Amino acid sequence: MKIFLKLKDIITSGTERIFDMLYCENCMKPVEAGRCPDCNRKKLRELKPDDPVYLITKDATIGASIEDILRQNNIPCLKRAELGAGITAYVGYYHETFRFYVPHSLFEHAKELLANFFDANEDQDEKAGTNAP
Ligand SMILES: [Zn+2]
């Protein structure tokens, strides 16, 4: 029983402190030390495994594929419209771009999935480029 508790302590403390990284709540990204290089903010806190971190920015069409891929792999994602809702209504939904965020603990996995996705679609993109006027 005692050993079991000890093991649990080790596992718990291991998940709470990862790499000694800090987190900027303003930019939603991991920061190594000191202040955030993006917003210059000094008010940083310890990075937790479920903190949402910025993954990628894509338009509505590719964004929908990204959402599908993440959902199929059980990676929860947070999607934020880059333009405001008012601007979107004016320019149209498909001009909207979205910023995607995933939990830090799943970030590397998500990045890998997207790399595979974009590799598989690279040929199509090139064709689309040459057909453009
Ligand atoms: Zn920041």
Specify whether the CB–CB gap between 52 and 100 falls below 8 A. Answer: no
**pLDDT tens for each residue of 12-32:** 444 444 457 899 999 999 998
| CA 114 / ligand 1 centre spacing (Å) | 24
Cβ within 8 Å of residue 30, ≥6 positions away:
21, 22, 23, 24, 47, 51, 53, 104
Gap from CA of 26 to ligand 1 centroid (Å)? 5
Q: From ligand 1's centre to the CA of 87, what distance in Å?
A: 25
Q: Using the mean position of ligand 1's atoms as its centre, give its distance from the Cα of residue 127 in Å.
A: 38
What pLDDT is attached to residue 125?
Answer: 52
What's the rounded mean pLDDT across residues 56-78?
95
pLDDT at residue 100 greater than cutoff 80: yes
Q: In this structure, what are the phi and psi dihedrals at residue 28, rounded to the nearest 5 degrees?
A: 55, 55
Structure confidence at residue 121 as a pLDDT band (50, 70, 90) = confident
Q: Which CATH class is domain 49-133?
A: alpha beta
Q: Cite the residue boundaries of each domain of the chain with CATH code 3.30.70.
A: 49-133
**Across residues 80-95, what is the average pLDDT?**
72
For the entire predicted model, the pTM comes to 0.70
